[in-house]
Amino acid sequence: MSTPDDLHLPDTALQGLGTRPFGVYVHVPFCATRCGYCDFNTYTAGELGSGAAPEDWLDGLRRELDLAAQRLGTPPAADTVFVGGGTPSLLGPDGLAAVLDAVRQSFGLAADAEVTTESNPESTSPALFAGIRDAGYTRVSLGMQSVAPHVLRVLDRTHTPGRPVEAAAEARGAGFDHVNLDLIYGTPGERTEDLQASLDAVLEAGVDHVSAYALIVEDGTALARRVRKGEIPMPDDDVLAADYELLDAMLEKAGLRWYEVSNWAASDEARCRHNLGYWLGGDWWGAGPGAHSHVGGVRWWNVKHPARYTATLTEGALPVGGQETLTPEDRHLERVMLELRLAEGLPLDALDDGGAREARRAAADGLLSTRDLDGGRAVLTDRGRLLADAVVRRLVT
C-alpha cells in the first residue's frame, strides 16, 4: 500500500500523454441521504459532522488539480470533464461553476470539451440548470432509477416519481442538448409493468441518452443486509435478462441505440465521450476523495475520507492512497473486457491465437456476430450482450 504523495509516474507512462483521450473526473462525496443499494464513497452531513465542509473540499480540490497539472508536466487540455458522486447538484450552480473553473485554471478545456455533471432530480431547478449552462457545462445526467413508488422505496430513493422527467425538461429548457436519465432494473418487487412505465416516462422526457443498470447487491450496503435477513430476495438472473431485452427493444424502437452494453444514445453526438475515454483506454485524472486515475498504464486512487483528503492537500501532498502499474496481461484483459462491451466491438487482432479460436467458437454459439467476425471484429450479438462477462472470460482464458 502506498503512502500519501508517493505517486510515481515513469516517463513511459507520460509518453503519448495528449495523443490519447484525456479527461478529468471530479468526485463530490456529499449526499443528503444514503440510498440503500449504494456503495460509492459518499457521506451525509451527519456522517461527516463538522470535519469536512464542502468549502474545505473545494479548497482541497483546487490544490489537487494544481498539483496534478504540475505532476503531469505539460498536461493536455481536458477533452472531457465529469463531475460525479455523490450528489454534485447539492453544490448549487455557484459551487458547480467553481468546480469547472478549477479544472479550467489547472488544465484548460479543449475547444469542444464535453462537460457533464450528475444530478439528483430533487436538488435541481431551472435556476441551477441555467447557471451551470452559463458556466460551461454541456451535459446533464439525472438519476431516475424508476417511476414506481414501491421500487423507489426498496432502493431508498427520495425523489418523487415524476420529478426526473420534470428535471429533464428543465435542463433541455436551459439549453442542454445532451441529457441522460439513469435507470436501475431488476429491483425485488419490480414488475414488468413497472419497468414499462419507467421506460414510457424516459421516452416522454425526450432525452438523447439512457443508462440502464441491473441492480447489484453490494456487500456492506443496507440492501445487502436486508437480503441477508430474508426481508427481500436477491435479484433473479432470468428476470434481469427479460428486463434487459424489454428495455433494449423499447429504446431501440424509439431511436436510442445501444453503443455500450448498458448505454443507449440517439446519435453519435449523444454518446458520453467521457465514458468512452474509459472504455477505449484513455487517460484521466480523478480528483476528490476516493477518486481513481489512470495515465499510461499506471493507476492510482485517492484516500477516501474527505477530512483526510483535505488535510493531506493542506500539507502540500497529493492524497494518494495507493497505486499499481498494470502489467501487459492486465492491460490486455481490460481492453478485451471494456471494448467488447461496445457496439463496435473489439479488433480480432487484439486477441491472441487462443482468444481468436474462442471467438470463432463463441460465434458458433451465437454470442458473437459471424458477419463482424469475418470482417475482423468481435462484436456481441443480442444474446451475447446478456452473457458479456462470460464471453470475456472465454476470450482471455
How many angstroms separate the CA atoms of 15 and 72, rounded? 11
Model confidence band, residue 34 (pLDDT cutoffs 50, 70, 90): low
Using alpha carbons only, what angle is made at residue 283 by residues 117 and 24, rounded to the nearest 5 degrees?
Answer: 25
Q: What is the pLDDT of residues 235-269, one digit of tens each?
A: 788 999 999 999 999 999 999 999 999 999 999 99
Rounded to two decimals, the pTM is 0.93
Residues 182-210 as b/e (b if ≥16 CB within 10 A, e otherwise) read bbbbbbbebeeebbebbbebbbebebbbb
How many CB atoms within 10 Å of residue 88? 25
Q: What is the pLDDT of residue 216?
A: 77
Does 21 score more than 60 pLDDT?
Answer: yes
Q: What is the pLDDT of residue 36?
A: 61
pLDDT, mean of residues 4-12:
80
Q: What is the pLDDT of residues 118-164, one digit of tens each?
A: 999 999 999 999 999 999 999 999 999 999 998 888 888 766 888 99
Does 276 score more than 90 pLDDT?
Answer: yes
Model confidence band, residue 1 (pLDDT cutoffs 50, 70, 90): very low
**Which residue blocks in 181-221 are alpha helix, DSSP H?**
192-205
How many angstroms separate the CA atoms of 190 and 150, rounded? 8
Q: What is the pLDDT of residue 366?
A: 98
Identify the CA nearest to 335 among candidates 392, 376, 379. 392
Q: Return the half-sphere exposure (C-beta side, CA atoms, 13 A cut-off) of residue 372.
A: 19
**Which residue blocks in 326-369 are alpha helix, DSSP H?**
328-339, 353-364
Grid cell of 29 as nine digits: 462525496
How many angstroms separate the CA atoms of 132 and 176, rounded? 10
Structure letter (DSSP) for residue 176: -
Does 50 score more than 60 pLDDT?
Answer: no
Q: What is the pLDDT of residue 199?
A: 97
Grid cell of 270 as nine digits: 449523444
Judge contact between 143 and 211, C-beta under 8 A: no
- Helix-then-strand count for the chain, H and E: 17, 14
Q: What is the pLDDT of residue 2?
A: 42
Does 231 score more than 90 pLDDT?
Answer: no
Q: Return the half-sphere exposure (C-beta side, CA atoms, 13 A cut-off) of residue 209.
A: 26
Q: What is the pLDDT of residue 120?
A: 92
Judge contact between 167 and 119, C-beta under 8 A: yes
Distances from the Cα of 126 to the Cα of 36, 94, 136, 138, 160, angstroms = 28, 14, 16, 15, 17
Q: What is the pLDDT of residues 60-69, one digit of tens each?
A: 999 999 999 9
Q: What is the pLDDT of residue 220?
A: 73
pLDDT, mean of residues 317-340:
96
Q: What is the pLDDT of residue 228?
A: 80
Does 3 score more than 50 pLDDT?
Answer: no
Does 321 score more than 60 pLDDT?
Answer: yes
Instruction: Please name the residues in contact with 74: beta carbons below 8 A apart, sequence gap of 6 or more.
Output: none
Does 70 score more than 70 pLDDT?
Answer: yes
pLDDT above 90 covers what percent of the chain?
Answer: 81
Distances from the Cα of 367 to the Cα of 36, 204, 262, 333, 355, angstroms = 34, 33, 17, 19, 14
How many angstroms separate the CA atoms of 307 and 301, rounded? 16
How many angstroms separate the CA atoms of 228 and 220, rounded? 11
How many angstroms separate the CA atoms of 172 and 206, rounded? 9
* Average pLDDT of every residue of the chain: 92
How many angstroms separate the CA atoms of 32 and 356, rounded? 49
**Which residue blocks in 216-288 are alpha helix, DSSP H?**
222-228, 237-253, 273-279
Judge contact between 291 and 276, C-beta under 8 A: no
Model confidence band, residue 224 (pLDDT cutoffs 50, 70, 90): low
Lowest pLDDT segment from 21-35, 170-184, 337-351: 21-35
Q: What is the pLDDT of residues 101-129, one digit of tens each?
A: 999 999 999 999 999 999 999 999 999 99
Its sign, for the CA torsion 163, 167, 173, 176, is negative
